[in-house]
Structure 1
Amino acid sequence: MMNVILRPATVADAAAIAEVRINSWRATYRGIIPASYLNDMKLEDSTAHWTKVLQAGSSKICVFVAENDEGIVAFASGMILPETKLGLDAELTAVYLEPDMQRARLGRRLVLEVAQACRTAGATGLLAWVISENKPARKFYEHLGGELLIEQGFTWDGMDLKEVAYGWKDISRLINDVPQLRSLH
């Protein structure tokens, strides 16, 4: 694998982040989310969303990208929650990788960056949501020591889905454990 660097995202990265997100969704959620929805995802809409997030410049939000010689190949974001959810005060809001970059240990490196940024901003715990049928993501969070907290229904753009929450009640433990994990599943 080429050298990959991790760095904080900038507004100039919004389109590349949007492209990674769409590519990841189309590969990961095929068969889980209707193909028509995945095919209709618009780069312009996602770019506008990420531009707004990155322009906000909030100390309560962090976004990191993984970049190699070909460009941005993955990203992750997190935030300090305005109110605790399930007893946790920060959320890992996104971890998306280009399909050919999955299982290259980038996801866990990005989670570590987000966890460290959230801890620096005062967080003590971390929450992550995933569509329940996304078995690889669930295994990933379980491998990182995430505790299954709840499974519930939710509606996304008119689709009725199920999601699960994983949590780390001690963000420092997550930060300390991630570098020692040897394999990703």
Structure 2
Amino acid sequence: MFFIDVHPFASFHRLGVGRRLVETIAEWLTQHGISSLLIKVLTINGPARHFYQALGGRLVLADPHEDEGILLEQVGYRWDNINTLLHSQ
């Protein structure tokens, strides 16, 4: 399953919207028998990287990603047990 470019508008940053979005995804995955999660983000997106680290994501990979002929570097954050996302308050 893939979600592409899911993020709140800047006016919703620092209001808990992003955390709730990730928690909702984790809840849905848990209800469907999926226990782990991998989220990829562009390497240059420092705020998103900090956000996923703050939620307990473990940096697990760095790989190139091509988008419309442009090569971009991305990294992945993994949660081996997404229940930790549901209790990360």
Question: Given the two structures, how large is their TM-score scaled by the length of structure 1?
Answer: 0.46
**Residue 47 of structure 2 corresponds to residue 133 of structure 1:** no
Q: Which has the higher helix share?
A: 1
Cα deviation, residue 94, structure 1:
4.0
**Residue 78 of structure 2 corresponds to residue 154 of structure 1:** no
2:15 alignment partner AA: A
The structure 1 residue matched to 2:54, chosen from 129, 139, 143, is 143
1:34-71 Cα deviation digits (max 9, x unpaired): xxxxxxxxxxxxxxxxxxxxxxxxxxxxxxxxxxxxxx
Q: Which residues of structure 1 form unaligned runs of 5+?
A: 1-78, 80-90, 181-185
Larger Rg: 1 or 2? Answer: 1
Cα deviation, residue 95, structure 1:
2.9
The structure 2 residue matched to 1:165, chosen from 65, 72, 76, is 76
**Residue 86 of structure 2 corresponds to residue 175 of structure 1:** yes
Name 1:102's counterpart in structure 2: 13
Q: 1:154–1:161: 8 Å Cα contact kept in structure 2?
A: yes
2:20 alignment partner AA: R
Question: Percent identity, aligned pairs only?
Answer: 35
Bigger relative contact order (CA 8 A; separation at least 6): 2
Q: Which residues of structure 2 form unaligned runs of 5+?
A: none
Question: Given the two structures, how large is their TM-score scaled by the length of structure 2?
Answer: 0.92
